[in-house]
Amino acid sequence: MDITIKTALISVSDKRDVVDFAKALAQMGVKIISTGGTARSLAEAGVPVTSIDSVTGFPEMMDGRVKTLHPKIHGGLLALRDKPEHVEAMRQHGIAPIDLVCVNLYPFEQTVARPGCTLEEAIENIDIGGPSMIRSAAKNHKFVTVVTSPEQYPRLLEQMRAGNGAVGGRRREELARAAFGLTAAYDAAIAKYLNQQAGIDFPDRTALALTREATLRYGENPHQTAALYKLPRRTEPCVANGRLMVGDTEISFNNLLDANAAFELVKEFDEPAAVVVKHLNPCGCAVDPDINIAYRKAYEGDVVSAFGGIVALNRPVDVELARTIMESYSRFGKALGAEGFFAEVIIAPRFNEEAIEIIRTLKTWGSRVRLIETGPLDRTRIDAGEYEVRYIVGGLLLQKRDLVGWEPTVLTFPTKARATPEQLEDLRVAWLVAKHAKSNTIVLAKNKKILGVGVGQMNRVESGRIAIRHAGNEAKGAAMASDAFFPFPDNVDQAAAAGIAAIAQPGGSKKDEDVIAAADKHGIAMVFTGKRHFRH
């Protein structure tokens, strides 16, 4: 059913394009009711405006807290116009119908995101009248059109012009769904802030306010549908907030998962670092003062697995680095037994224009690779309040993010042999990689380059075998990291047989004394980190 818009109530905090929108409505003969600053803006622009107090018979009061909470407003929004009792009540009480509500809400999230925002300021930016009008209009969308964003103006005006001022039922329903989504997200943001202020991590009820960013080609498999949703107003450099420069192929669900895994690992390092990820696990990682060398070392860590992987860097990509990446196979990989190389995604803080041109044109696969630009890395912008969310059938598991990294001040050294400064650096790199790999995890490193990674095995000894086998002769003198403690000395004995020189592990096993004794027997330096990094 089409409803002709005769009266509109406009009250917005975000005044982008509202004057043009109101002018267009007025030109179609729509009566404009407005409040406060919005009314002044429209009047100054020459739009005929009826003030809210002339409708309600009450002045705006209490610093604007009370102005639209009135029967003549909500009656005009909620009345069922095909129900005689409602129509009669409107007649008796002098309530006129309102056909369109254009409202957006006080900027609560922007306010609380400002440094130094006080609780009082936050409370004052909790909108009451706005959500009430939105919900009233959305509930009665059979008769009322609700507009909650400037992005909705052009399409709505186009439909009204085509329909002689009328809006169709399907469009009203669509706008109502968006309106309820907005108010739900708004309330979720307020509840989250108030819980944080009270130090409550896991309240009795919680909601995640998300906005759809993109519909994806499919999920993990072609028969699954998928979409990317973003948390609002997060400034942390990350994949979700990155600028996507898509190639010939759209980015996929799996691409985003892998890109996130790669970038979150590379963010652990302050010095130039490169990471290569395949199926959520790091197959290469290295740090070096020269980002080009760091990339080369990361790629050489596993040239076979790097094929079709994700490349993450914590430094901008210039022409030299772009060439190094695109020529990985011919420069380094072929001699190491690779069958070829291409990357699904390259993610970095920035790409200069010449580098993009090199990536797109140097190799045929360059036209397909997706580039994600995150902006400068800044660890002070990491959102420690975010949840990690895992789905189980019928519910969600929420936990705080694992933001513990390498902590030199809490390390303990239980063995007779003491790790050298060089070994500690290798242990740091191996330990951080282990943090971002699937349990059970064993990682080997030497010269700040990953040599072998064993992940996801049902027992840690098997993960050790995989890592050592991949490292080959380079395992001699290497550093080993384990994401969790050794329950028995078997991994130490296995490491000793391969010539491993130093081991980092959390400690805390009932068999720690046996494990330490095995390390002492073999002359291995062991470091206890005191922290576990299970990643299921």
Helical pair 490-498 and 460-471, crossing angle rounded to 10 deg:
10
CA angle 160/182/214 to nearest 5° reads: 85
Q: Is 311 helix (H, G, I), strand (E, B) or coil?
A: strand
Cα gap 329→520, rounded to integer Å: 42
The residues annotated with a catalytic role in the active site are 139, 279
What residue has token string 């210039």? 318
Cα gap 191→203, rounded to integer Å: 9
Number of other residues whose CB lies within 10 A of the CB of residue 393: 4
CA neighbor of 530 nearest in space, from 504, 507, 498, 501: 507
Cα gap 428→435, rounded to integer Å: 11
Q: Which residue intervals of 304-352 are DSSP H helices? A: 319-326, 328
What residue has token string 């901008």? 316
What residue has token string 């898509």? 246
**Measured CA distances, 368 to 313, 318, 346 (Å):** 19, 19, 11
CA 137 to chain centre: 32
Residue 416 tokens read as: 């007779």
DSSP character at residue 66? B
Cα gap 290→273, rounded to integer Å: 9
R_g over Cα of the chain: 30
DSSP character at residue 200? -
Cα gap 29→339, rounded to integer Å: 70
